């Protein structure tokens, strides 16, 4: 059982470049999330989805876009990379919105220079 | 402002000693989760607490939620090198999405 899989594990981007962080889960979870983790700052929610075709903004959505065409996949798109987007990105999924633990991927470490 | 405060921010403990990590909120918690993170890896779910006064244990780790549901503690008994990592608490306030604390970095020394 793979759980939540993120690719790539590492990436270096130049300012202004774009990229897509991939996330897929095989647990048939309806709820999926993207977080970023900055040193000493905990995790901040970027976007989330309650099911295929439905997405919504989290706490720090600026500079990012998401789509949810299937239950399994929830890619995160960076259109014009900026140094402020240097971070570790985590994708997660859960059965329900409440009282349901999140299952996390292993993260993507992104550096923008 | 940070809705969840974790303390201490870092902790260095000799192997075999006990330790406690705290997670405090000014609001009532509707669900409290403890996660562990090792460098370069994702977050591993440890325990979920929902009821005031609830206590759960897994191996040598015990988590408690106080009666007022505003503070949780994570206690490790007889610490081992495998306990090293970053511990994060996450909480839900009503129907809002999960909010995380800033984490406690635990180092175990021989």
- Residue B2: what pLDDT? 57
* Cβ within 8 Å of B, A 56-75: 58
The partner residue sitting opposite A43, judged by closest CB among B9, B50, B100, is B100
Question: What residues in chain B have their Cβ under 8 A from chain A's Cβ atoms?
Answer: 2, 4, 9, 30-31, 33, 35, 40-45, 48, 50, 88, 90, 92, 95, 97-98, 100-103
Per-residue burial over B7-41, b = 16 or more CB atoms within 10 Å of its CB, e = otherwise: eeeebebeeeeebebbbbbeeebebbbbbbbeeee
- pLDDT tens for A41-74 read 789 999 999 999 999 999 999 999 999 999 999 9
Report the alpha-carbon distance of residue A16 to residue A103 in Å, rounded.
Answer: 31
Give how far B110 is from chain A: nearest CA, Å: 26
Residues in B closer than 8 angstroms to A92, CB to CB, are: 43
Q: How many CB atoms lie within 10 A of CB A85?
A: 18
Residues in B closer than 8 angstroms to A41, CB to CB, are: 102
- pLDDT tens for B10-40 read 999 999 999 999 999 988 888 899 999 987 7
Q: Which residue of B has its CA nearest to A89?
A: B42
- pLDDT tens for B41-68 read 889 999 999 988 999 999 999 999 998 8
Across the interface, whether the CB atoms of B50 and A99 are under 8 A apart is answered: yes
Residues in A closer than 8 angstroms to B101, CB to CB, are: 42
- Residue A1: what pLDDT? 65
């Amino acid at each position: 059982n793979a759980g939540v899989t993120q690719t790539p594990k590492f990436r270096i981007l130049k300012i202004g470049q774009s990229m897509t962080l991939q996330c897929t889960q095989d647990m048939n979870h309806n709820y999926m999330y993207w977080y970023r983790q900055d040193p000493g700052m905990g995790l901040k929610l970027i976007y989330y989805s309650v099911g295929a075709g439905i997405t919504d903004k989290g706490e720090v959505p600026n500079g990012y876009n998401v789509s949810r065409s299937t239950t399994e996949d929830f890619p995160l798109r960076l259109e014009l990379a900026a140094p402020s987007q240097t971070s570790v990105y985590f994708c997660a999924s859960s059965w329900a919105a409440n009282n349901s633990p999140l299952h996390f991927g292993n993260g993507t470490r992104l550096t923008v220079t | 402002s940070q809705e969840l405060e974790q303390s201490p921010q870092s902790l260095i403990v000799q192997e075999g000693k006990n330790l406690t990590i705290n997670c405090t909120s000014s609001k009532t918690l509707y669900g409290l989760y403890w996660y562990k993170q090792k460098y370069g890896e994702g977050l591993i779910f440890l325990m979920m607490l929902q009821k005031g006064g609830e206590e759960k244990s897994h191996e040598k780790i015990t988590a408690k939620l106080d009666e007022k549901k505003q503070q949780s503690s994570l206690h490790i008994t007889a610490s081992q090198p495998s306990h090293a990592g970053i511990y994060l608490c996450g909480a839900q306030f009503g129907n809002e999405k999960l909010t995380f604390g800033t984490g406690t970095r635990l180092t175990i020394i021989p």
